Amino acid sequence: MFAIGFRCGRCGATYDLDEVRYVCPRDGPEGTLDVLYDYERLRATTSPARLEEHPSRSIWRYAPLLPLRPETLRRVEGAGVLQAVGWTPLYRAERTARRLGLRAVYIKDDGRNPTASFKDRASAVVALKAIEEGVSTITTASSGNAAAALAGMAAALDLRAIIFVPHTAPEAKVAQLLIYGARVFLVEGAYDEAFDLTLAAAEAFGWYCRNTAYNPFTREGKKTAAYEIWEQMGGRVPDRLFVSVGDGNILTGLWKGFRDLTALGWIERPPILMGVQAEGAAVLARAWVEGREDIHPEPPRTIADSIAVGQPRDARFALRAVRETGGAFLTVADEEILAAMRTLAQEAGVFAEPAAAAAFAGLEKAVREGLMREEETVLVMITGNGLKDIPSAMRAVGHAARISAEIPTALRQLREAIR
């Protein structure tokens, strides 16, 4: 294993891997940790050519760049859906590029992961970390996707999963949790309250906690998407990458992956990172506009449940990722998100849940506001499948028309309908 320690994102203190478990002891939850690697040793033992020869089309092809021991990684073999996490398709959306006047637009569809969201990447790594730590119960708070991902991975590894989600979570996401055998508690509050309850329960009962950003290994799973983008684009990265943002952990995971590639000398620089938030859950966007690194939590109000976060837990790293890559935060209204769901499906054939479509809405807004150059190559990260939130999809497109079963009547109705 090439992971060698942690560094606190707030105070900069470093720790050995066995010295801390979740966050910096000095700074508490605000001191989220970054996993450190020995890049010199990594360069000596792995290379782009070796990766290209790897038979696995999953995140496990990047095993040397993950903080897991070889004996732990062997648990992946035969562990059901765990084997299929990652290596999601990358599409070139030529109609979208022509409409927006850009050189190229790519769509990375992580809704094609085993439990239909980007969160499988983090949950797979953290579930294996739980095995490595010798625990049998793992818990998380989630608006739905992270919980479904953890429930699926835990089932594959015969771990007990205890999940806390807001009582407003979409029914399809709750159904996923239950079908995987997780013990589910619907919290009479928002995601942020479920998050705090999970921390308290994990401490009280000795469970391993997966909570986003609080567990430093969530970022390590999510960074694998950056490696895939680089490989799937033939050893290149896009000029600019759009991603929807709630807690900020997907954004920081992508940034970590591109930083790894830069440190290894495999790319010259990361893409410009564009974080997109819903207008009703825009804590990070406001901090970015005001030039602050601290955040002012507020209750979220948006249809995009997966990014409905009032107190982002990876705020410091997320703001840093955008600033250091020369990017920006954008906000989009719920109406723009619903429109983006339609457009993305009808132009590229990708069915995205509201939170995922927010990234596409952000791209369209950036073009409208003149933030883009025509010669840019752009990638939009789609983080979850639209089947997870059918009511929102129906709001986006309306209901299908009814028609008679009697042919003469039906033909007359069709003539009127298709004029």
- Residues with Cβ within 8 Å of residue 364, at least 6 apart in sequence: 100, 336, 340, 343
Which residues on neighbouring strands pair with residue 155, listed in sequence order? Answer: none
pLDDT band at 93 (very low <50, low <70, confident <90, very high): very high
pLDDT band at 386 (very low <50, low <70, confident <90, very high): very high
Q: How, if at all, do strands 33-37 and 3-8 pair?
A: antiparallel
- Residues with Cβ within 8 Å of residue 398, at least 6 apart in sequence: none
Q: Give me the chain's average pLDDT, please.
A: 95
- CA distance between the termini of the chain: 65
Q: What is the pLDDT of residue 176?
A: 92
- List, in order of start, the domains of the chain with CATH numbers: 83-116+218-397 (3.40.50.1100)
Side-by-side strand order, sheet with 33-37: 14-15, 3-8, 33-37
Would you say residue 170 has pLDDT above 90? no
Q: What is the mean pLDDT of residues 238-253?
A: 97
34 SS3 class: strand
- Residues with Cβ within 8 Å of residue 265, at least 6 apart in sequence: 43
- Tokens of residue 340, six digits: 């983006």
- d(Cα 106, Cα 74) in Å, to the nearest integer? 33
239 SS3 class: coil
Would you say residue 1 has pLDDT above 90? no
Q: What is the pLDDT of residue 41?
A: 96
This prediction's pTM: 0.95
The residue behind tokens 């703001």 is: 319
Would you state the torsion angle of the CA atoms of residues 402, 406, 412, 416, taken in this order, to the nearest 10 degrees?
10
Give the count of beta carbons closer than 10 Å to the beta carbon of residue 36: 16
- d(Cα 232, Cα 384) in Å, to the nearest integer? 20
> C-alpha angle 116/121/122, rounded to 5°?
120
- Helix intervals (H) in 264-314: 283-289
pLDDT tens figures, 14-41:
999 999 999 999 999 999 999 999 999 9
Contact 198, 209 (CB under 8 A): yes
Would you say residue 195 has pLDDT above 90? yes
pLDDT band at 308 (very low <50, low <70, confident <90, very high): very high
pLDDT band at 169 (very low <50, low <70, confident <90, very high): confident
Q: What is the mean pLDDT of residues 136-141?
A: 96
Would you say residue 293 has pLDDT above 90? no
The residue behind tokens 């013990």 is: 183
- d(Cα 400, Cα 416) in Å, to the nearest integer? 15
50 vs 104, higher pLDDT: 104
pLDDT band at 89 (very low <50, low <70, confident <90, very high): very high
- Tokens of residue 404, six digits: 């008679």
Q: What is the pLDDT of residue 294?
A: 87
pLDDT tens figures, 323-368:
999 999 999 999 999 999 999 999 999 999 999 999 999 999 999 9
Q: What is the pLDDT of residue 139?
A: 97
Q: What is the pLDDT of residue 349?
A: 96
